[in-house]
Amino acid sequence: TTSLVFIGNVEGRKVIIKLERPDSPRKNFKKEAKILRLLEGKEITPRLVDYGVFEGKEFLVREFAEGEPLLYSTPQKKHILQILEKTYQLDVLGIDHGQIQGGKHVIIGDTVWIIDFEKAGFRKPKNVTSTMAMIFLNDNVIAKRVRERFRLDQNFLNSLRETLREYKKTKNIEKLKKLLSTL
């Protein structure tokens, strides 16, 4: 981990304060702040409040994402469709999150938030495909919970695999939306 994380309050709003660890070899906050500014107003991630350097260490302050990490929750259909939409927006912008597949960086609350862009970059994005694989196809607790909740059979999973293959080639989201609307 490259940072120390604190919860704070700025002008009555709950915030997260990330402070570079003294022993951290990486300087990622400037890049993360740049990406958060680019995402401003897109409702993908909570708003950046501040970025700077204090006593030689970078810090970043962003609004708090209310909710629970996907890793520990069972998303509803509306959450899955929001995850699809937000990861698609990242793909269109050419931003690859880089750590989205673990389930800790997708927060499920009243809305869905994607957080922690410190390892994100402007490279070939795989947000939609890696997130959908994590939620439905992989052998993990998230996919197992989702498959149980929605009683997904092999036909659905095969259709999803095929639709994701097609998405990788075309970047057209419509067939994925249509398939996930059947949940």
Predicted confidence at residue 23, as pLDDT, reads: 85
Helix (H, G, I), strand (E, B) or coil at 59: strand
Instruction: Write down the CATH number for the domain with range 3-63.
Output: 3.30.200.20
Each residue's pLDDT tens digit, 157-166: 999 999 999 9
At residue 174, what are phi and psi to the nearest 5 degrees? -60, -45
Q: In CATH terms, are 3-63 and 68-180 the same topology? A: no
CA dist 49 and 15 (Å) reads 8
E-state strands within 66-111: 68-69, 106-108
Architecture category of domain 68-180 in CATH: Orthogonal Bundle (1.10)
Helix (H, G, I), strand (E, B) or coil at 63: strand
Q: Does 1 have pLDDT greater than 70?
A: no
**For the residues 89-100, what does the mean pLDDT come to?**
96
Predicted confidence at residue 109, as pLDDT, reads: 96
Closest CA to 100 of 135, 143, 50: 135
Closest CA to 29 of 5, 64, 65: 5
Domain spans, the chain: 3-63, 68-180
Each residue's pLDDT tens digit, 5-34: 999 999 999 999 999 988 877 778 999 999
Closest CA to 97 of 70, 125, 63, 135: 125
- Strand pairing category for 13-20 and 112-114: unpaired
CA geometry: angle at 114 spanning 112 and 116, to 5°?
150
pTM of this prediction exceeds 0.85: yes
6 CB contacts (<8 Å, ≥6 apart)?
16, 17, 19
